[in-house]
């Protein structure tokens, strides 16, 4: 076992197709789990629907889409944890960081991915849904200045990533949170 935990096995999934929705959803055909460094088992039970939704779509071009790279397995347990009542989002995000490392991401990749899901948590909790235009994807600040959502979120991630650049592999979650919280307020 690595110092970041381990996965139960390779996930078994089935794409779910729906002519009225994007073909992004997958169903787990068997239980899948991640055991974190403290020994907590994060179960993604058979029948769960996953879609990588906690990685904000505007950040896909920066960090990757939900089903690519070494964080694919981490995204499965994170999706389920984020949709499980009683599991605080922050706990799910910390688990995601360690699961990314267990999945093969290097420290720098895991830090950026962690920042991405923290930005996603912030955006979903802080930006009222009515401020987004479905057609133009605009975000309006309290002074009504329009921002393109993608540029805004990418800018936040870029600022955070630049500040995280060069951190050591043993940087703590608390140190990462301090950097993130300088750029976004929960």
Tens of pLDDT along 51-105? 886 677 777 777 777 778 899 999 999 999 999 999 999 999 999 999 999 999 9
Tens of pLDDT along 130-139? 444 433 333 3
Closest to 105 in 3D by CA, of 80, 57, 73, 82: 73
Predicted confidence at residue 96, as pLDDT, reads: 96
Cβ contact 100:115 at 8 Å: no
Q: Average pLDDT, whole number, for the chain?
A: 85
* Average of per-residue pLDDT across 104-115: 94
Cβ contact 54:94 at 8 Å: no
Tens of pLDDT along 30-40? 999 999 999 99
Three-class SS state of 29: coil
Three-class SS state of 140: strand
Cβ contact 48:28 at 8 Å: yes
pTM over 0.75: yes
Please give the full DSSP string across 102-115, using - where no structure is assigned. HHT--HHHHHHHHH
Q: Give domain limits for the chain.
A: 6-183
């Amino acid at each position: 076992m690595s110092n970041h935990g381990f996965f139960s096995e390779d996930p078994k999934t089935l794409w779910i197709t729906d002519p009225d929705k994007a073909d992004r959803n997958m169903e787990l055909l068997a239980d899948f789990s991640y055991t974190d460094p403290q020994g907590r088992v994060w179960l993604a039970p058979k029948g769960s629907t996953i879609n990588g939704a906690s990685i904000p779509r505007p950040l896909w071009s920066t960090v990757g889409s939900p089903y690519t790279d070494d964080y694919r397995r981490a995204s499965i347990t994170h999706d389920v944890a984020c949709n499980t009542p009683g599991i605080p989002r922050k706990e799910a995000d910390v688990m995601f960081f360690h699961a990314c490392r267990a999945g093969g991401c290097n420290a720098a990749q895991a830090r950026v991915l962690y920042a991405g899901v923290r930005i996603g948590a912030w955006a979903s909790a802080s930006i009222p849904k009515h401020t987004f235009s479905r057609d133009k994807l605009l975000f309006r600040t309290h002074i009504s200045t329009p921002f393109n959502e993608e540029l805004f979120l990418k800018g936040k991630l870029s600022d955070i990533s630049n500040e995280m650049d060069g951190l050591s592999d043993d940087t703590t979650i608390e140190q990462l949170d301090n950097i993130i919280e300088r750029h976004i307020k929960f």
